[in-house]
Amino acid sequence: MPLSDLPVEDLADLYENAPCGYVSIAPDGRIAKVNRTLAEWVGRAEEDLVASPFNNLLSFGGKIAVETHLAPMLRLKGQVAEIALDLVGADGSKIPVIVNATEKRGDNGEHVLTRMTLFKAVDRRSYERNLLAAREAAEAETLAEHETATLREQFIAVLGHDLRNPLASLDAGVRLLDKEALSDRGRFILGGMAKSVARASQLIDNVLDLARGRLGGGLVLTRDAKEPVSPVLEQVVAEIQSIVPDRPISTIFAVDEPVYCDRQRIGQLASNLVGNAVAHGAPGSAIQVEARTEGSDFVLSVTNSGETIPPDAREKLFQPFFRGGTGRTRQGLGLGLFIVSEIAKAHDGSIEVISSDGITSFIFSMPRHRYQPATI
Amino acid sequence: MALKRNNVRVSGQGDRAMMFAHGFGCDQHMWRDVAQGFEVDFKVILFDHVGAGGSDLAAYDSTKYGSLGGYADDVIEIARELDLRDAIFVGHSVSAMIGALAVLKAPDLFSDLVMVGPSPRYIDDGDYVGGFTSGQVGELLQFLADNHLGWSAAMAPAIMGNADRPELGEKLTESFCATDPKIAAEFARVTFFSDNRADLSRVEARTLVLQCRDDIIAPQCVGEWVHAQLPNSEYVLLDATGHCPNLSAPAEVTAAIRAFV
């Protein structure tokens, strides 16, 4: 189609009846010019609007917002875009609009006019408000959940802590009774009680560590390399052996170099791994505990025979409250391996599990030396 | 520490210090055109309230900044870190009252106060006309909520070039008038629900009250009321209209402050 055939646009008509509102505002805030579209939106005659303050078309909150936010930004930036405002019509109704504005300036940079284009945005604004409300609701829900979780963990921490005292009394009682003359049956029962006390004490330690970790305290380590780590491991194995005298537990400890670690925590890690092997290994089967140094790493592994751990369960093993197995092996809170992985992480180390052909090994390894930042 | 937290900028030469505080809705750029005029013979101090402009948003604490006293404490800390004495405090809008609280708490820091568009209480109360009803403050909060995305975008460091005022592009490489939306909503609450009427009569510092015409936020009657309460004040009614004469009529504001100091 040749250009001459195109319809001619009438610029005056475009201004007056544009599909958006136009208003030009003098520096003192009075309307200098306004188009028919905008006048019709607010239900007033154009000639009534000219020379009246533009602010009169806004809700009071909008007026404050314009004075405190829009006017300064316009003065500083020369323009603002996509501001959401409500116009107030002659009948008091609110008309949600999106506003773009620029400042027209004179040759010396003086403010001559503020030009505004307004777009009606009823649906868009209500959609945005719905989104905002939904987000606020989601945030409130998350906050409430978080508070509940924190409260629950605080409760666990306090409960665990308070359980320690009566348990310590029980433990002292068992030890005192052990020195008394007892019948065979009495000694058998006392042995069972000692195991139960040890088990309860370990559970409480794990629960407290979990609560501490969740409450932001994290595991606090006291690391040094002043003493050898093997005696701690030997003691852990001896304690467990005394509880399960009929399970063969073999050890190979070849740790000659110093290991920079928290020995008590490494003992806890070993205790959880060996305890885990006792609980989940085939009844009566042997357990191997091996500790050695490999180059700059300290490596501890615990191996037992029993059911192979399925691959999908392996990923979840180290999550809190995960309990594998069924029947006999389903016991405890599922925190032991979680604590193991936390202790490993705290030592900049790692824990992995290899399980195939009925043999399962947990392998912990960590750098033996204190981390030294590389020098340039 | 306060200097970094409040993004403090010191410029100018002169023995006497003049500290400019921005009000609700903007940041230290609000004072740009006025502060420049004093750099020749004053040490000029600009800063952002926590939550605005280039301040450290991580330093925001809802409890501390739950009253204007928290903001006044920041002013005092800045003044102490800069070792100010008998300085001039120029506060716009709500910062006029923040300045009054600061001189009451630490009278040695500032000997002169300039209040631009002050209001000790925005909401009407019996015979006192503040100009607002409490419901209207709710509309402002709604505006802030609706424009959440807009203000977040304004926090972005890139500012569009400004063809007719190229100096802006260079100067304002960082964001300006940027306010964290959540903090802005809390600042709005603290500002518009504040009531510092009882404090004014205790302010002994020399004070200049600068009042605009047609200011819906701090109407003329409020400026006159402030002047009447202050024991040692001068009152100047500017020709400027609106609430931000520091931007709309910087020359007139500069001249009035000069005549006072």
Residues A203 and A298 in one domain: no
Inter-chain CB proximity B242 and A29 less than 8 Å: yes
Residues A109 and A203 in one domain: no
Q: Which two tokens stand for residue B172?
A: 């304002």
Tell me if residue A93 falls in helix, strand or coil.
coil
Residues 6+ apart with CB under 8 A from A322: A316, A334, A337, A338
Q: Is residue A128 part of a domain?
A: no
- Give residue A23's pLDDT: 96
| Distance from chain centroid for Cα A290 | 36
Task: Please state whether beta strands B17-21 and B110-116 pair in parallel, antiparallel, or not at all (unpaired).
Answer: unpaired
Inter-chain CB proximity B143 and A75 less than 8 Å: no
Nearest to A193, CA basis, from A169, A214, A217, A215:
A169
Residue of B nearest to A53 (CA): B214
Enumerate the β-bridge partners of residue A302.
Answer: A289, A362
Q: Which CATH architecture has domain B2-121+194-260?
A: 3-Layer(aba) Sandwich (3.40)
Q: Which two tokens stand for residue B188?
A: 């709005």
Average pLDDT for runs of 10 along chain A of length 376: 82 95 93 96 94 90 82 84 87 90 88 94 84 87 85 78 84 91 91 85 80 65 87 88 86 90 90 89 91 92 91 82 58 75 89 91 91 52
Residues A49 and A79 in one domain: yes
Phi, psi values for residue A352, rounded to 5°: -135, 160
Phi, psi values for residue B11, rounded to 5°: -145, 180
- CATH code of residue A326: 3.30.565.10
Given B27, B215, B227, B233, the catalytic residue: B215
Question: Chain A closest CA to B155's CA: distance in Å?
Answer: 13
Count of residues for chain B?
261
A-chain residues near B150 (CB < 8 A): 82-84
Task: Please state whether beta strands A21-25 and A31-34 pair in parallel, antiparallel, or not at all (unpaired).
Answer: antiparallel
Tell me if residue A305 falls in helix, strand or coil.
strand
Residues A79 and A21 in one domain: yes
Nearest to A275, CA basis, from A213, A158, A362, A168:
A362
- Burial state string for A42-54 with b = 16 or more CB within 10 A and e = fewer than 16: bebeeeebeeebb
Q: Is residue A219 part of a domain?
A: no
**pLDDT exceeds 60 at position B192:** yes
Tell me if residue B206 falls in helix, strand or coil.
strand
d(CA A40, CA A38): 5
The secondary structure of residue B27, as a DSSP letter, is: -
- What are the start-end ranges of the E strands in B162-222? 206-213
Inter-chain CB proximity A61 and B138 less than 8 Å: yes
More confident residue, B111 or A4: B111
d(CA A326, CA B19): 73
Residues A236 and A210 in one domain: no
Residues A235 and A318 in one domain: yes
Contact B21, B89 (CB under 8 A): yes
Residue of A nearest to B240 (CA): A28
d(CA B171, CA A290): 67
Q: How many domains does chain A divide into?
A: 3
Residue in B138, B147, B247 nearest the CB of A75: B247
d(CA B179, CA A310): 53
Residues A181 and A271 in one domain: no
B-chain residues near A71 (CB < 8 A): 242-244, 247-248
Instruction: Give yes or no: B67 in active site.
Output: no
- Burial state string for B41-59 with b = 16 or more CB within 10 A and e = fewer than 16: ebbbbbbbbbbbbbbeeeb
10 Å CB burial of residue A89 (0-12, 13-18, 19+) is middle
Residues A252 and A164 in one domain: no
Give the strand order in the sheet containing A249-254: A249-254, A287-294, A297-305, A359-367, A350-356
**pLDDT exceeds 50 at position B160:** no
- Give residue B178's pLDDT: 65
Inter-chain CB proximity A67 and B216 less than 8 Å: yes
d(CA A213, CA A203): 15
Residues A146 and A114 in one domain: no
Instruction: Give yes or no: B93 in active site.
Output: yes
Tell me if residue A50 falls in helix, strand or coil.
coil
A-chain residues near B144 (CB < 8 A): 65
Residue where a domain terminates, one of A188, A214, A240: A214
Enumerate the β-bridge partners of residue B91.
Answer: B21, B115
Residues 6+ apart with CB under 8 A from B34: B20, B90, B246, B250, B253, B254, B257
d(CA A182, CA A180): 6
Q: Is residue A89 part of a domain?
A: yes
pLDDT single digits (tens) B24-60: 888 898 898 999 999 999 999 999 999 888 888 889 9
Residue of B nearest to A82 (CA): B150
Inter-chain CB proximity A76 and B143 less than 8 Å: no
Residues A358 and A261 in one domain: yes
Q: Is residue A220 part of a domain?
A: no
Q: Which two tokens stand for residue A320?
A: 């809190």
- Give residue B159's pLDDT: 35
Given B93, B95, B175, B233, the catalytic residue: B93
- Give residue A1's pLDDT: 63
Question: Chain A closest CA to B32's CA: distance in Å?
Answer: 9
Tell me if residue B231 falls in helix, strand or coil.
coil
pLDDT single digits (tens) B72-85: 999 999 999 999 99
Domain boundaries of chain B, sorted by first residue: 2-121+194-260
Residues A197 and A281 in one domain: no
Inter-chain CB proximity B168 and A76 less than 8 Å: yes
Instruction: Give yes or no: B148 in active site.
Output: no
Residues A363 and A240 in one domain: yes
Q: What is this structure's pTM?
A: 0.62
Cβ neighbour number for residue B10 with a 10 Å cutoff: 13
Q: Which two tokens stand for residue A44?
A: 């007033």
| Distance from chain centroid for Cα B45 | 13
Phi, psi values for residue A280, rounded to 5°: -105, -15
Tell me if residue B8 falls in helix, strand or coil.
coil
Inter-chain CB proximity B248 and A61 less than 8 Å: no
- CATH code of residue A202: 1.10.287.130
Question: Chain A closest CA to B152's CA: distance in Å?
Answer: 12
Domain residues for the domain of A306 are 230-367
More confident residue, B152 or A55: A55
